[in-house]
Structure 1
Amino acid sequence: MMATQEQIDAARRHIERLRDQHANDVIALVRLVDDGALKGEAGDRLAADLRAWDRGFKDLFTRALSLLDSFQPSEPSKGAASR
């Protein structure tokens, strides 16, 4: 079964919400560490790990959105209400 344009749009909105939430959470964590919540070598390693994690997830979200762009929506089924 192929996805309709409505389903593709809903998936895009969900991925964008997850991306934004992730960015906000990671930024908050990095700020805590940078502001001294964890000092020394351990804090430096954690901050570097968080930044790497952030880059990895940004790439993941970008790939997911690109994949959605490649989908060709199916025609709405008969009897479905059009908008």
Structure 2
Amino acid sequence: MATQEEIDTVRQRIEQLRELHAGDVIALARLVDDGALKGQAGDRLTTDLRAWDRAFKDLFTRALASLDTLQPSDPVKGATSR
């Protein structure tokens, strides 16, 4: 079982990845909006970016919700020396 510290570390990493993802999607969307891809290719990329964004947001939400269901182990009882 995971300790509260380990759970918190994982939560922080998931939140970092969520923010990184949001920044990447915004950067890609700006490129498309600024005319990097025009016509059908740009439209398809915009549609794909929106779907990708929704899917990853859902993934991050589910991952964080899963962490909320964990019961941390008692670090004294379950800890081993390293």
Normalising to structure 2: TM-score of the pair?
Answer: 0.91
Q: Could you give the per-residue CA deviations for residues 1-59 of structure 1, whole angstroms, max 9, x where no partner exists?
A: x0000000000000000000000001100110011100001101001101110000000
The aligned counterpart of 1:71 is 70
Q: Distance in 1 between matches of 2:21 and 2:76?
A: 35
CA distance in 2, matches of 1:55, 1:28: 16
Residue of structure 2 in register with 1:48 after alignment: 47
Alignment-derived partner of residue 15 in structure 2: 16
Unaligned runs of 5+ in 2: none
| Larger helix share, 1 or 2 | 2
Root mean square deviation, CA, Å: 1.1
Kindly indicate whether structure 1 or structure 2 has the higher relative contact order, using CA contacts under 8 Å at least 6 residues apart.
2
| 1:39 equivalent in structure 2 | 38
Structure-1 residue corresponding to 2:6: 7
- 2:57 alignment partner in structure 1: 58
Q: Which residues of structure 1 form unaligned runs of 5+?
A: none
- How many Å separate the matches in 1 of 2:5 and 2:42? 44
Q: Distance in 2 between matches of 1:22 and 1:77?
A: 37
Task: Name the amino acid aligned to 1:6.
Answer: E
Taking only the aligned residue pairs, the percentage that are identical comes to 74
* Matching residue of 1:28: 27
CA positional deviation for 1:77: 2.8
In structure 2, what residue type is equivalent to 1:23?
A
